[in-house]
Amino acid sequence: MSFRFQHHTLFFHKPAKTSRDVLTNRDVYFVQCLSDDASVSGLGECAPIWGLSPESKAEVERTLANWNNIMQHPEQLTDVFNRISSLRFAVETALRDMAAGGTMHPFDVDLKHPIPINGLIWMSDAESMLRECRDKVEAGFTTIKFKVGALNFQEEIDLLRAVRSEFAERNLEIRLDANGAFNPKDALEKLDLLSTFRIHSIEQPIKAGQRDAMAHLIEKSPIAIALDEELIGVHTTTEKRKLIEHVRPHYLVLKPTLHGSFSGCDEWVALTEEKGIGWWATSALESNIGLNAIAQWVLTKRVSLPQGLGTGALFSNNVQSPWVVENGFLRYDKNLHWNFKSIFQ
């Protein structure tokens, strides 16, 4: 088989702000795997997040340029995939798609089942975030996730107070995502204040790599804590088990692009089942090609918690797909079709 790659720049409708940075566009690399006679092909997506993914842009593009040569030396693949999780995700998706006949069905699942998802509120001024929350509730979402950590903390407290004054806990579940913005020295104090608004969970309250501090925070926190960035770069089952047993999180947030593709995430899921902790999947801002693969993988699991998969509409030039968001669910509409005009011209 052979591979070819196509760079594509996705543009956000409006800047997407986190506590780390502000995103206006992002690079993705579509991966096409072709059979020897070119009669069947599979499609995947390599979508690293510069500054968060361990791999650099130079390393990704150098590896893609040399990929067909690397394929002649399969003993190198484990090291390559450990270093570049986003490429592992792309290649695994493309191979699965090709094995299924190149029909954009990398997993053998029933696409009739909708997936519950959370509505995501990106960082902005408090008034805009409250207005967006109202819009999402009106659109049918019952779980909302707020990005926090960039505004003044008192502003975020005031925002959550305003949200709770309008939407009771029985009607709206609130999740928070701090992207590591809190300082370990006062993180517990902040979590105590946030807990008064009956928060379901908070993702990565402090930066990754502070395992003792994270373990202490999880032990004392009045809010359930989910690990996200903490999982990046943890490759082997032994390393994964060691992290879980040390930190003892309440939830994991799984991103196949960042966390070892589907095979790596399957290992994380097995550990959550063993340890009795929860998990949900979240898109790492892939295009609809990557989102399609993640959504189908999620459908292979018995999920009840809302997933973080409604990111396709963020971009002005996304690949047109049959996935739609309706009433707080991600649903595959068989009456809609894929349009790949922007790829492999």
Q: Which residues are catalytic?
A: 147, 255
Strand-pair partners of 252? 227, 279
**Integer Cα distance of 23 and 19 in angstroms:** 11
> What Å distances lie between residue 181 and 94, 186, 252, 295, CA to CA?
35, 11, 18, 28
Enter the tokens of residue 255: 């991103």
- Cβ–Cβ under 8 Å, residues 176 and 204: no
For residue 70, count CB atoms less than 10 angstroms from its CB and return exposed for 0-12, middle for 13-18, buried for 19 or more.
middle
SS3 for 14? Answer: strand
Conformation bin of residue 101: beta by default, left when phi > 0, alpha when psi is -120 to 50? left
**Integer Cα distance of 111 and 329 in angstroms:** 13
- CB atoms near residue 272 (< 10 Å): 16
Q: Give start and end residues of each alpha helix (H) in the chain.
A: 57-65, 67-70, 77-83, 85-99, 126-138, 153-166, 187-195, 211-220, 237-247, 261-275, 288-299
- Cβ–Cβ under 8 Å, residues 171 and 140: no
